[in-house]
Amino acid sequence: MDKIRIEGPCRLRGRVRISGAKNAVLPEMAAALLVEGPVTLTNVPAVRDVETMAKVLRHLGLRDVALEGSLLRIGAGEPGEPEAPYALVKTMRASILVLGPLLARLGRARVSLPGGCAIGARPVDLHIEALRRMGATITIEHGYVVGSCRRLRGAEISFDKKTVTGTENLMMAACLAEGRTALENCALEPEIADLARFLNACGARVEGAGTGRIEVHGVPRLAGAEHRVIPDRIEAGTFVMAALATRSGITVEACEPAHLVAVVDKLKECGADLRVERDAIEVRPDGPLRAANVVTVPYPAFPTDLQAQYMALMTRAEGVSIITESVFENRLMHVGELRRMGARIVVDGQAAIVAGPSPLSGAPVMASDLRASACLIVAGLAAQGETTIDRAYHIDRGYERVERKFQELGARIERVRG
């Protein structure tokens, strides 16, 4: 099991290019199940979750699923056996995104329930309820979601809660349904609008993606298309916070600052000197940061996927900050690891109270999930001494060549093959 080893403190300098968004490319790969022609996705990040989704698509019978650098080709062809097995789904919850497309294209699906994960129960009841509204018969059998339908029918559906993959699953299912589907209380994340752009390039009729109300007019079939994946806003935010935590001046390029407005605003409230350009964010080393409170809520507000990294940064800020996680019920596990590095944090329910600045010292720590791993890298870069992060496979799920990118910025960071 690989580890990441960091010798801190590090001063970063130079430029880092942001990769394509994991959370945009995963639904777009699932959408390939809907189309009858070859698909080409560019700006695809070489991360483990993309490899896993490629395995799922191959298992479902799609041919020629091949990643060459940042170009992903998916051959034409109709899915064969519509089963996404537990062995694959348990390693990546986003596999649930094949459920809507399989029902829409084949009229049947057998997808393992993702089960919980480190950050919470992660139910998919909203996906299932909405698909039932479109005429699918869905039962849960032996840990699998088993669905069937003649042809999905358009429906008026309002989500009880904003769900990113729930919105994506239903948007995809509605593309081949009979008639019009209206989705209310949709999630607003940029990855949803990116998926809609790809679906429409394939001949779908999706309107309103990125707003709370999405309308889809079903069409008989979809053709393949080429699509460039949007930059990863969470990776970009991670590098900005790493620079601020180490009082470094770097430029984060090939990113989309428009997807990070709430994050940039919050960091400026902390006193960060950030220069925002069209596709780059320049971080200028400046004086000490001030503590500022954050509550994570669905887009466009401060994202839950940057909460852990922000907490690492707040250990370096002057004052007390209250960081409240309102999206997932168990996403504060990085607190224990940060405390082992000397951070002064107490947890009260879903809020973490951080007293800064607290000098961090390097330590052996354990990653619990993808974004907690990023938090520990930020902390290790700022800490005095050696930090080793165990279970580095978590970080590889969503960050491309993470140690290489930080090495190129001057960090003393390496991967230790375990």
Active site members: 117
How near is the Cβ of 415 to ligand EPZ at its closest, in Å? 20
In the complex, the smallest distance separating the C-beta of residue 363 from ligand EPZ, rounded to whole angstroms, is 24
**Sign of the dihedral through C-alpha 312, 93, 32, 170:** negative
Coil, strand or helix at 350: coil
Find the binding residues for ligand EPZ in span 168-187 (CB under 6 A).
187
Residue with tokens 């009979």: 178
Mark the segment that binds ligand EPZ (CB under 6 A) among 36-44, 135-143, 159-167, 315-323: 159-167
Give one DSSP letter per residue of 41-75, joined into a string: EES----HHHHHHHHHHHHTT----EEETTEEEE-
Under 8 Å between Cβ of 340 and 379: no
CB-wise, 94 or 206, nearer to ligand EPZ?
A: 94
Query: In this chain, which of 16, 25, 26, 314 binds ligand EPZ, going by CB under 6 A?
Result: 26
Q: Which stretch binds ligand EPZ (CB under 6 A): 122-130, 131-139, 352-360, 376-384?
A: 122-130
394 token code pair: 């978590």
Q: Least separation, in Å, of the C-beta of 294 and ligand EPZ?
A: 15
Binding status of residue 125 toward ligand EPZ by CB under 6 A: yes
Nearest residue (CB) to ligand EPZ, 176 versus 186: 186
Is residue 112 part of the contact set for ligand EPZ (CB under 6 A)?
no
Cβ–Cβ < 8 Å for 345, 354:
yes
Closest separation in Å from C-beta 161 to ligand EPZ:
5
Please give the Cα distance from 28 to 26 (Å, whole number): 5
Q: Is 370 in the site for ligand EPZ (CB under 6 A)?
A: yes
Of the residues 23, 43, 181, 373, which one makes contact with ligand EPZ according to CB under 6 A: 23
Q: Is 284 exposed, middle or buried, given 0-12, 13-18 or 19+ CB atoms closer than 10 A?
A: middle
Least distance CB 360 / ligand EPZ (angstroms): 23
Check if the beta carbon of residue 320 is closer than 8 Å to that of residue 354: yes
Segment 282 to 321, residues that bind ligand EPZ, using CB under 6 A: 304-305
Q: Which stretch binds ligand EPZ (CB under 6 A): 59-67, 119-127, 245-253, 350-358?
A: 119-127
User: Considering only residues 19, 163, 358, 387, which one is a binding residue for ligand EPZ as defined by CB under 6 A?
Assistant: 163
Asked whether the beta carbons of 172 and 219 are under 8 A apart, the reply is: no
- Binder to ligand EPZ among 14, 80, 123, 359 (CB under 6 A)? 123
**HEC sequence for 101-127:** HHHHHHCEEEEECCCCECCECCCCHHH
Among 94, 134, 196, 341, binds ligand EPZ (CB under 6 A): 94
Q: Look up residue 382 and give its two tokens.
A: 């700022």
Structure tokens at 347: 């947890």
Task: With H, G, I as helix, E, B as strand and everything else as coil, classify residue 247.
Answer: coil
CA distance 39 to 224: 5
Binding window for ligand EPZ (CB under 6 A); candidates: 145-153, 164-172, 344-352, 375-383 = 164-172
Does residue number 136 form part of the binding site for ligand EPZ (CB under 6 A)?
A: no
Residue ranges that bind ligand EPZ, judged by CB under 6 A: 23, 26, 94, 120, 122-127, 161, 163-166, 187, 304-305, 327-328, 370-371, 398
